[in-house]
Structure 1
Amino acid sequence: MRPSLHATFCHTTSHLLFATLSLLTMGQAVADEAQTYPDAYMKSHPQTQQAFQHATKPLLNQHKWVANYGTASPVGKYEQDGLIYTVITGCKPHDCSSEQYIALVDIHSNVRGALIRERQRASGTLTTTTFDWFGDVDDSARTLILKAYSAAQ
């Protein structure tokens, strides 16, 4: 497993949950028959649950809320270049504006994602955003996650 990579950007505050909606509209969204939240999804997909736990383990010392998926959005599906991803998102309970995550799960239950932390400066006008990558994030997954994030700006 590669060590976590960090990228820092300065910009105005935005929310990853809105970025996820952008992600789902950038490619071809795949319709789900019913809304399923991460906890229920993981119970019915134990291999993915195990992969998520393994991928996010390095985050848990400082971000314990990720283990229980946080305040989560319904699980989505996204297709790009013939690949279908399950999209799992959540944010820190009672603090969604400062910590969120997005995880992409492929057909083989490989989990790739980012914990995104936003910190506002004392002036209130500028935010520092840090991406803590988890799982085996390749260039393709990183590009999808950053596109979704940038689209929300």
Structure 2
Amino acid sequence: MKIVSLSTLAGASLMLVVGGACAEQYLPEIASKAPYKKAYAEMLSHPTWVSKAQGTASPVEKVSAEGKSFTVGHMCKPHDCADNQLIVVFNADGTKSWGLLATRPADGEAFSKQLLGNPDSVVQGLLNKSFSDNNPED
């Protein structure tokens, strides 16, 4: 009987240690350690054509919205424009930018859209208009 009680107690203690170890970890800690570090970096990274601005593009446009001037540009992944697009809006002096990254799975489903740079409603409108202008059938 004593042996069963000791093994039960040891098992319960081990469960508490394992459970406690998980409860004491925080995102900044695990995001800097393997295997989490790689997954975290991949989540935050963008394809090369986006991060290095090496896509197929059309000329930028100067536009105005609510009394402010902006520059709007459209770019897509080379050889895959139909499914991978980036629209970028710059403020008048080019010191701030916002984007809309639109990607579509190979099965032709709807675009998945990701806003970049925390645009306000005015800039979101410019991003969405540019996307619509470049994708009249979507």
Q: Percent identity?
A: 30
Give the whole-Å Cα distance in 2 for the aligned partners of 1:69 and 1:135.
Answer: 19
> Is the CA contact (8 Å cut-off) linking 1:76 and 1:87 kept in structure 2?
yes
CA distance 1:119–1:94, change in 2 (3 Å): same
> Is the CA contact (8 Å cut-off) linking 1:111 and 1:136 kept in structure 2?
no
Give the whole-Å Cα distance in 2 for the aligned partners of 1:79 and 1:137.
Answer: 16
> Is the CA contact (8 Å cut-off) linking 2:102 and 2:113 kept in structure 1?
yes
Give the whole-Å Cα distance in 2 for the aligned partners of 1:90 and 1:59.
Answer: 21
Aligned to 2:125: 143
- Please list, as runs of the form range in 1=range in 2, the aligned pairs for 1:4-153 lying within 5 A after superposition: 61-66=45-50, 67-108=52-93, 109-121=95-107, 127-150=109-132, 152-153=136-137
Q: Note the aligned Cα RMSD (angstroms).
A: 2.4
> Is the CA contact (8 Å cut-off) linking 1:120 and 1:128 kept in structure 2?
no
Q: Which has the higher strand share?
A: 1
Compute the TM-score of the two structures, normalised by the length of structure 1.
0.52
| 3-state DSSP of counterpart to 1:149 | helix
Give the whole-Å Cα distance in 1 for the aligned partners of 2:110 and 2:86.
Answer: 16
Aligned length: 92
Runs (5+) with no aligned partner, structure 2:
1-41
CA distance 1:87–1:150, change in 2 (3 Å): closer
| 3-state DSSP of counterpart to 2:79 | coil
Give the whole-Å Cα distance in 1 for the aligned partners of 2:102 and 2:80.
Answer: 12
Runs (5+) with no aligned partner, structure 1:
1-57
